[in-house]
Amino acid sequence: MFEVRNQPPPLEPYSLFTSDTVLREAVRREGAGWAEGNLTELGARLGRPETVQLGFDANKFPPQLRTLDRYGHRIDEVDFHPAWHQLLEIALQAGLHSSPWENPKQGAHVARAAGTYMLGQIESGVYCPLAMTYGSVPTLRHAPRLADEWLPRIYSREYDRRFRPARLKSSALIGMGMTENQGGSDLRTNTTRAQPSADGSFRLYGHKWFMSAPMCDAFLVLAQAPNGLSCFLMPRWTPDGERNAIFIIRLKDKLGNRSNASSEVEFHGAYAQLVGEEGRGIPTIIEMGNYTRLDCCIGSSALMRQAVAQAIHHARHRVAFQKKLVDQPLMTNVLADLALESEAAAVLTMWLARVYDESTDTAVAIRRIITPAAKFWICKRTPFLTYEAMEVLGGSGYIEESIMPRLYREAPVNSIWEGSGNIMCLDVLRALERTPNATEILHQELGAAKNGRITAFAARIEKRLAARDHADESQARALVRDLMVALQGSLLVRHSPTLVSDAFCASRLDGEAAPVFGLLPRGVDTRGVVERAGPAG
Ligand SMILES: Cc1cc2nc3c(=O)[nH]c(=O)nc-3n(C[C@H](O)[C@H](O)[C@H](O)COP(=O)(O)OP(=O)(O)OC[C@H]3O[C@@H](n4cnc5c(N)ncnc54)[C@H](O)[C@@H]3O)c2cc1C
């Protein structure tokens, strides 16, 4: 037998909270210091080998659709591996699906963001129903009677995997059906019809081209009612205790996100109830979209963090050419550059989560402008980062037994769903146009850094805004990228050690954010940046 040498030990057990300096700092800074105890517990639980294994199992044994029972009756059920259920159980116990609504307080959205940031590092597929359930609450509140009935179930922390009417379950999860075959970004093209019934409910006829997590207990769905496109709550079971007429046609065979089921569905007179005003479907459901977009920032930052933690861990143990990889100057440069991107994403995400804890006019304006901008930029950076981090592990990074292929396959999805990249940038333009004091708000946020480079960079952006650059759709990506790099720089200057903010500004503000990592200029304390980012034991 050959001797196994020079292989790093697995990065487990480890605490995803206490080992993450950037996350711990952000939780405290953004007002969720009170949650440190719970986050420490959750971080340790998620980093146990048996929990890590759940993530692998849930992806290795993807969900299976059963359209018919043995006698030929339609059942439209999806079977998941037990690992999927165990992960959801952990998530619900920690309140990751609804805690800020169940127990609102300063820092509640930040605390939840920190929890989902850790969960997303272990398994991302389960994040989908959690995000949709979290986002559904403000939309459901547009229908007070429905909210009274459903919110207590949504707030429950007792995960109930059984497929039965929600009133017979200990908790409920909510999904969403907007995208149709002929159009997902342009929701006005939705053709699903909603026919009013005598009792005030509606019957839905049509299809959805993507409806993820189809075993959720109810879905927020868009459909054309007599007075226009409207938002509905469509439960899996009717109030009479019958299976609702929701037929799952097939499950998508996806690039990544494989533990999660994403379905194509048809509605053949499915029972549903109106949420919000008839004809105001898009503004009603878009409230959910703001929160799920925040979750895309959290989810992609999580993928980056896990990739960086694995890469640094590997480089600390693996020796090549008589030195640990982490000590090879060119590798140190690559790792530091990856760490900078990850820290910038995490700091921006946690700051944005705090803005969701506030209700001032400025906070509302920042949410409107920055949520789509941050989603665009963070999600766009993730595939590049996960790919480069994979390479740090050499050939082993390309092998399924490492988590890297899973992170890489998962990386593009947050940019596509909940509004693809271009749609996010166009949203930013609209928000800039509609927010009268947008330039002042951005000036204040960027200028808070008191840093020459940031000030100069921000001044150039403000000049472009004054020149109404944002009226030109073709330049939206360039504008949003610059805005986000400036904001990340400003936040890092204010909140991170100088060695991090200097390196970020030197590499991101003085040139283009390059798709290749490892281009940090001379003079950067790469070693210091890597030490800060490495998962502490
Ligand atoms: C894994 C997965 C799960 C999903 N789950 C759900 C779900 O649960 N519920 C749900 O409702 N949807 C879901 N979706 C659908 C997703 O939200 C849509 O795919 C997405 O919104 C894009 O819509 P589309 O696919 O129709 O693309 P299109 O709308 O055709 O867009 C195609 C491309 O054109 C760009 N584009 C569109 N308009 C413009 C414009 N005016 N200017 C410039 N560029 C433009 C877009 O940015 C995109 O890059 C899921 C998707 C995936 C991949």
36-42 mean pLDDT: 98
* Average pLDDT of the residues of the chain: 96
Compute the Cα dihedral for 103, 42, 293, 149 and give only its sign: negative
- 205-210 average pLDDT score: 98
Q: What is the pLDDT of residues 139-196, one digit of tens each?
A: 999 999 999 999 999 999 999 999 999 999 999 999 999 999 999 999 999 999 999 9
Mean pLDDT score, 456-471: 88
Ligand 1 atom 7 nearest Cα: 211
Spell out the residues 6+ positions from residue 379 whose beta carbon is closer than 8 angstroms to its own.
296, 297, 300, 414, 415, 421
Counting residues of the chain whose pLDDT is more than 70, the rounded percentage is: 99
Mean pLDDT lowest among 86-95, 294-303, 457-466, 512-521: 512-521
pTM beyond 0.85: the answer is yes
Atom of ligand 1 nearest to the CA of 260: 1
Instruction: Reply yes or no on whether the pLDDT at 306 is more than 90.
Output: yes
The mean per-residue pLDDT over the stretch 338-342 comes to 98
**Of all protein residues, whose CA lies closest to atom 16 belonging to ligand 1?**
417
Q: pLDDT tens, 494-536?
A: 999 999 999 999 999 976 667 799 999 999 999 999 999 999 8
Residue 419 alpha carbon, nearest atom of ligand 1 = 21
Look at residue 469 and tell me whether its pLDDT is greater than 90. no
Q: Is 176 in the pocket of ligand 1 (CB under 6 A)?
A: yes
- Supply the pLDDT for residue 512: 67
Q: State the closest ligand 1 atom to the C-alpha of 254, by its place in the atom list counted from 1.
A: 1
% residues pLDDT > 90 (the chain)? 96
417 lines ligand 1 (CB under 6 A): yes
How far, in Å, is the centroid of ligand 1 from the Cα of 50? 35
Ligand 1 centre distance from Cα of residue 267 (Å): 21
468 pLDDT band, cuts 50/70/90, is: confident
pLDDT of residue 48 exceeding 70? yes
The reported pLDDT for the residue numbered 467 is 86
Give the per-residue pLDDT at 526: 97
> For atom 24 of ligand 1, which residue has the closest CA?
184
Report pLDDT for 513.
65
Which of 501, 363, 500, 496 shows the shortest CA–CA distance to 24? 496
Residues in Cβ contact with 178 at an 8 Å cutoff, skipping those fewer than 6 apart: 184, 187, 190, 208, 221, 222, 285
CA 424 to ligand 1: nearest atom: 47
What are the structure tokens assigned to 383, written together?
A: 């595939």
Counting ligand 1 atoms within 8 A of each CB, the residue from 187, 265, 423 with the most, and so the one to mutate, is 423
Residues whose CB falls within 8 Å of the CB of residue 13, separated by 6 or more in sequence, listed in order:
44, 47, 48, 49
Report whether pLDDT(450) > 80.
yes
